[in-house]
Chain A
Amino acid sequence: MNDDEDLSAPVTMEMRLSVNGIGYPITVDTRETLLDTLRERLDLTGAKKGCDHGQCGACTVLVDGRRVTSCLTLTVALDDREITTVEGLADGSVPHPLQTAFVRHDALQCGYCTPGQLCSAVGMLAEARAGWPSIVTADGGSVDARLDEAEIRERMSGNLCRCGAYVNIVAAIAEVAR
């Protein structure tokens, strides 16, 4: 068998991917990232492709409740995980409190980064409630989950907004945190 020839063909695996509570039996190319699977295979286009290098946060989703960049996450590694995307944040027809706050505070302009901002904020508030510190948390101090502006800005630094809607994004998150 010609090794190179064999390996130039895509390698696929059968798996079950659970997204927003729905199990999808899919055949994935091992090279596929979660972001591409969601957008190109499952038609869940909420998570956005910004930089595709983990630097902008537009692709942020939750894996077992923890925020990650889906552009650097291989789908094939997620067969026993639960994925939550922006499409799964609302409770039926009732928007998530962060979604409501983003609308009320006009926390977006073009909206491209918004799904990533929302998923990141959901994960971030859970981290704060669990007592996780940030680098701006006072030395050895306990974490006040109500989070002041400096805490929110530091903890959300993995999500860029090229429209510069940061002031209103911080206000929206602060409202939900308090």
Chain B
Amino acid sequence: MRPFVYRRPGDARTALAELAAEPGAMYLGGGTNLVDLMRLGVLAPRTLVDVTRACSDAIEVRPDGGLWIGAGVRNADLAAHPAVRRRYPMLAQALLSGASGQIRNMATVAGNLLQRTRCAYFQDPSKPCNKARPGTGCPARAGDHRNLAILGYSDFCVATHPSDMAVALTALGAVVHVEGAAGPYTVRMPGLHRLPGDEPERDTVLEPGDLIIAVEIPALPYAACSRYRKVRDRASFAFTVVSVAAAVDKSGGTIRDCRIALGGVAPVPWRAERAEAELRGAPIAEASFRRAADAELTAARPLTENGFKVALVRNVVVRALLDLVGVS
């Protein structure tokens, strides 16, 4: 590992200034992904600016039921918060579906959003990878891609975004509060992460040096009826193969409104807008749910080894919606 200077500023503006002042500097949150990537030789920052004291670790419940979550809140604390469990069960479930108890105690909300893909080529400095080493190529397209994307990828990169939490936040339309060089600004999810196109090295729309300071969840009363359903290769402590975050607003026998996002299928947490449009106003019935899933999957372009994800997404979406409306 390359030697690095360690700094720990006490506020966000100082953190921005310290990052801007040092070429090759990176922010450090819980370290669960960054420290590992440094040890693997994928990343080699010259300075680490530890922002765990610069960012709030508080969770505020707004009068309308929305939440304001400091960027430094640990994943475990967010999952255990009574308002998250009661008003946004999909978010608590997504957090608790991710990683292990130890990792959730360390990982921060902002770090979770900005974690890098677990594509095997990205994590191996001896291999070509357009995301980690731009211009070197993408061996995953013809190689090990069983768990990579079926939607939204490009010729340059077929990686998936690994976060469970981000899938729930994408469904909830979370607003990311950022401190930038020119001052504060906000980005509404799913707009934080960007599709790879011909620049897969850029995971998000943030500019270098920008610092996430909070994540706001706008009030969504019907999210009390929501669920995160994750399929993985073992019962616990594994990255998602396919997941869905879903919330439904039922009115009589129909779906008045809904939110659906998918994980494990794209380079970004994937908001399933076609499925949502298909489902709004539809009768509460398995056939409606199947049509909604199929509407989203018309855009799927599976690779040689991951075609199974298409059927898996369809089944997981239908199952999650059936669970939500209480039909067995």
- Which residues of chain B from 76 to 90 have a CB within 8 Å of any chain A CB? 76, 79-80, 85-86, 89
Complex partner residue of A74 from B6, B46, B79, B86, CB under 8 angstroms:
B6
In this complex, what residue of B is CB-closest to A155? B101
Closest B residue to A6 using CB positions: B3
A30-B6, A68-B105, A72-B32 known; A130-B80 Cβ under 8 A: yes
Question: Is the CB of B48 closer than 8 A to any CB of chain A?
Answer: yes
- A60–B237 Cα gap in the complex (Å)? 15
Chain B residues with Cβ below 8 Å from A134 are: 96
Contact A157 B237 (CB under 8 A): yes
* CA A130 to CA B31, docked complex, whole Å: 25
A107 vs B97: C-alpha distance when bound (angstroms): 26
Decide: A57 and B100 in contact? CB cutoff 8 A.
yes
Given contacts A29-B3, A52-B39, A53-B36, contact A77 B103 (CB under 8 A): no
Is there a chain A Cβ closer than 8 Å to B106's Cβ? yes
Query: Nearest Cβ in chain A — how far from B209, in angstroms?
Result: 19
Alpha-carbon separation in the docked complex, A120 to B76 (Å):
14
The reply to whether the CB of A131 lies closer than 8 angstroms to some CB of chain B is yes
In the bound complex, CA of A120 to CA of B237 (Å): 15
The CA of A149 and the CA of B103, in the complex, are separated in Å by 22
B5 at the interface (CB under 8 A from A): yes
The segment from A8-16, A19-27, A95-103 that touches chain B is A8-16
Do A54 and B76 touch (CB < 8 A)?
A: no
Number of interface residues of A (CB under 8 A): 44
Nearest-Cβ distance from residue B293 to partner chain A, whole angstroms: 23
A164–B82 CA distance with the chains assembled, in angstroms: 36
Q: Assess the B106–A72 pair: CB atoms within 8 A.
A: yes
Complex Cα gap A49–B6 (Å): 24
Q: Mark B6-32, 1 if CB is under 8 A from A, else 0.
A: 101000000000000000000010011
In the complex, whether B35 has a CB less than 8 A from a CB of chain A is yes
Contact with B along A41-54 (1 / 0, CB 8 A): 00000000000111
| A72:B3 contact, CB within 8 angstroms | no
Known interface pairs A33-B35, A72-B35, A133-B92; A11-B6 also in contact (CB < 8 Å)? yes
Tell me the number of A-to-B contacts counted with CB atoms below 8 Å. 113
CB <8 Å contact, B103 and A69: yes
Number of interface residues of B (CB under 8 A): 37
- A8 contact set on B, CB distance < 8 A: 2-3
Among A13, A135, A158, which residue has its beta carbon within 8 angstroms of that of B97? A135
**CB <8 Å contact, A133 and B106:** no
Q: Name the CB-closest residue of A to B31.
A: A72
Q: Is B294 an interface residue (CB 8 A)?
A: no
Selected contact of A53 from candidates B8, B39, B80, B89, CB within 8 Å: B39
Residue of B79, B86, B106 near A73 (CB, 8 A) is B106
- Taking A31-B1, A77-B31, A158-B101 as known contacts, 19 extra A-B pairs with beta carbons closer than 8 A to each other, sorted by chain A number, are A7-B2, A7-B4, A8-B2, A8-B3, A11-B4, A30-B6, A53-B36, A53-B39, A54-B102, A66-B76, A68-B102, A68-B106, A69-B32, A69-B102, A77-B8, A132-B79, A135-B97, A140-B89, A156-B101
Give chain A's interface residues, CB within 8 Å of chain B.
Answer: 7-11, 13, 29-31, 33, 52-55, 57, 60, 66-69, 72-74, 76-77, 120, 123-124, 127, 130-135, 139-140, 153-159
The contact sample of 15 A-B pairs, CB cut-off 8 A, is A52-B39, A69-B103, A72-B32, A73-B35, A76-B6, A77-B28, A120-B102, A132-B76, A132-B79, A132-B80, A133-B92, A140-B85, A140-B89, A153-B236, A159-B100
